[in-house]
Every structure is written in structure tokens, then in C-alpha cells.
Amino acid sequence: MATLNMRLDDDLDRRLTAEAELAAETRSQLARRAIEAFLSQRQRQRFLDRIARAARARGPAEAVAAAEEALPTDNEALARGEHGVAEPRARYRARRKKR
């Protein structure tokens, strides 16, 4: 695995640390996941931009048809993303009261 060194301003460092603690992850794990998500989003956007350019080159009717065809896929992905997010579990157990 490669190593990446970077400088963070104090505010970003505090936010990263706080989020890592909330997610029960290391700062490196959280940063790695954030970079992966960012790069995936950029790659997907470039792909959609290429589709849009190709559709526009064919004319307005083709652009609308391509958008209508892609809409159900985007809606399904959005629905899965909204319902697939799990809350982190607490790292402790509540103590039972003695009777």
C-alpha cells in the first residue's frame, strides 16, 4: 500500500479527528474512504458528461431520450444509498441496575 503525506489546516484536522472518532475509525481509514468516494464521484461525473455531450451532438430529441433512459437508474441508486447507510454502533454496553 502506498503512503501519502499531506498538510491539513487546523480546522480540517479537528473535523477529521472528530468524524473519525464518531465513526470508530482511524483518521487514515476515514481519509481513504473520503478520497475513494470523491474519485468515484468525479469519474461518474465525467462519464455522465461524455454521455450528455454525445446525446447533444445527436440533437435535442436524443438528449431527452438519453436523460429519460438514465433517470430510473439514478433514482434506484439514490434510493439504495439513502436506505443502505448504517449508524455506527456504540463501543460500550449499558450497565444494568442491580435490584
Task: Read off the pLDDT of residues 45-88 as tens digits, 9 standing for 90 and up.
Answer: 898 888 778 777 877 777 777 777 777 666 565 566 555 555 55
Judge whether 6 lies within some domain: no
What is the pLDDT at residue 48? Answer: 82
What is the dihedral sign for C-alpha 38, 35, 77, 22?
negative
Residue 94 lies in a domain: no
33 domain-assigned: yes
Is 84 domain-assigned?
Answer: no
Residue 92 lies in a domain: no
30: exposed, middle or buried (Cβ count in 10 Å: 0-12, 13-18, 19+): middle
Residue 3 counted as domain residue:
no
Residue 9's pLDDT is what?
96
* Domain assignment of residue 29, given as a range: 12-77
SS3 21: helix
Q: Is residue 30 part of a domain?
A: yes
Q: How many domains does the chain have?
A: 1
Q: What is the pTM assigned to this prediction?
A: 0.58
In DSSP notation, 32-86 reads HHHHHHHHHHHHHHHHHHHHHHHHHHH-HHHHHHHHHHHHHHHHHHHHHHHHSPP
